[in-house]
A and B are shown apart, each in its own frame.
Chain A
């Protein structure tokens, strides 16, 4: 048996052209992969190759390059399906991103199944993309939203889960918090939700890029994620859902490609997955995502997770030595994904991010699209450092030095 190889960041970094850049004369230290990851050359090249050699509208032409485009795009779908252990590519709907995938569920399954007086259970740590669509649906149909609370370590208060699930039709929850880094125990939560008769939608934007995700094992009902956070391009995301649900759901957007037969006053729908993919799809982006999935598979998702856990462990230890720092989110790296949010006394996160940028360090400052979570934490904003396969411990050291320099400026 072949021993799984740990991630060699020197090798990995060589795959990412952008990491050769300098900012203000300093090498780029990219610590914002939770916002978007960088792209390996294989992803950039495969999209370039598509445009140079076989750019054509897929699913339509009978000529060679259209067939090549169709084959490449659909092969990417199969790759994505295998990557998350979906039963079939028919369950993999390409969307623009996680946000669009969640909105697809809101407009199709949601409008049919959520009615006046129904309850939707969310959490205090949701990204706006898994909150605002449900606010809109609730306002539209007269449903109510409820929220699982978090504790001071940034963990969901799961002792309340069973009680809160009573009468809930949909539980929509993030797999990993983009702000706190908390990894939620989705399998156990889903089992409880199913016992209570609720369906479960997972925002997996921060999970699929960073850890093995098996939708069958998790036993969830809907799972959404984005290509651009997992080495793929922007403009391509995924909604996975159980086939029976997808079959029963009405279409999302109407137009070309999603139909079987159109008459002047009515139309019938295409088979899965195309029923939910109206219009010319993002072909290059789909192919790029396929290459990204192959790239990650080759590294091994267990190894990706191990690499990030080690970095988070190191970063939590280094950061907590900074005087006055407040770190949000779990201290246990086993349940803390590759994103760490913190604040430094008397330095606003925007000032900190601006100051460290002078040394080429890219960190995120703001509310991270989680304003209710910021309210819960009692801060207007945090600084967030997030890691991926190309980050290494010396970049954490550089961040720490950058923070110390900022503290001197503001002393």
Chain B
């Protein structure tokens, strides 16, 4: 794990986020925010035969929150919805690949928390 919070890959996702923008015919639109930091994202999910057919997000906030949302969209597109309902936070944190301090953990997990709310109606993470 790198100790460099702003390693190249994260800055790249922040500057050029993947799947960024609205999905006009989304089946599920879910907003999430960190009132403490002012990070906000909206996830757009389009379902296709039990799978996540398309995904996009919009948002603004710190590099960690926005880069992690961008990475998450790469990780979840095309996967079975049943599986995504309990998408593990640790998978996203591994993908981020940096040490997240407790103060920044909410930024790093905003997108995955929002995903679970979108698919389950609440933020219940299966252990």
Contact = CB atoms under 8 A, between A and B. Distances in A.
Interface in B10-51: 11, 15, 35-40
A374 B107 CA distance: 19
A381 B60 CA distance: 11
A372 interface: no
Interface residues of B, number: 17
Interface string A356-400: 000000000111000100100001110000000000000000000
Interface in A51-96: none
A371 B6 CA distance: 27
Given A355-B6, A380-B61, A409 B11 contact: yes
Nearest to A348: B62
Given A348-B61, A348-B63, A354-B104, A374 B6 contact: no
A348 B35 CA distance: 14
Contacts of B37: 348, 350, 365-366, 380-381
Nearest to B61: A348
B72 interface: no
A100 B104 CA distance: 29
Contact of A371 (B11, B15, B35): B35
A350 B63 CA distance: 9
A138 to B, nearest CB: 22
A379 B40 CA distance: 12
A286 to B, nearest CB: 31
B107 A350 contact: yes
A151 interface: no
B118 interface: no
A351 B64 CA distance: 8
A374 B39 CA distance: 13
A374 B63 CA distance: 20
Contact of B63 (A351, A366, A381): A351
19 contacts: A348-B37, A348-B63, A350-B37, A350-B64, A351-B62, A351-B64, A354-B5, A354-B104, A355-B6, A366-B37, A367-B36, A367-B38, A379-B38, A380-B39, A380-B40, A381-B37, A409-B11, A410-B11, A410-B63
Given A351-B63, A410-B11, 14 more contacts: A348-B63, A350-B62, A350-B64, A351-B64, A355-B6, A365-B37, A367-B38, A374-B38, A380-B39, A380-B40, A380-B60, A380-B61, A381-B37, A410-B15
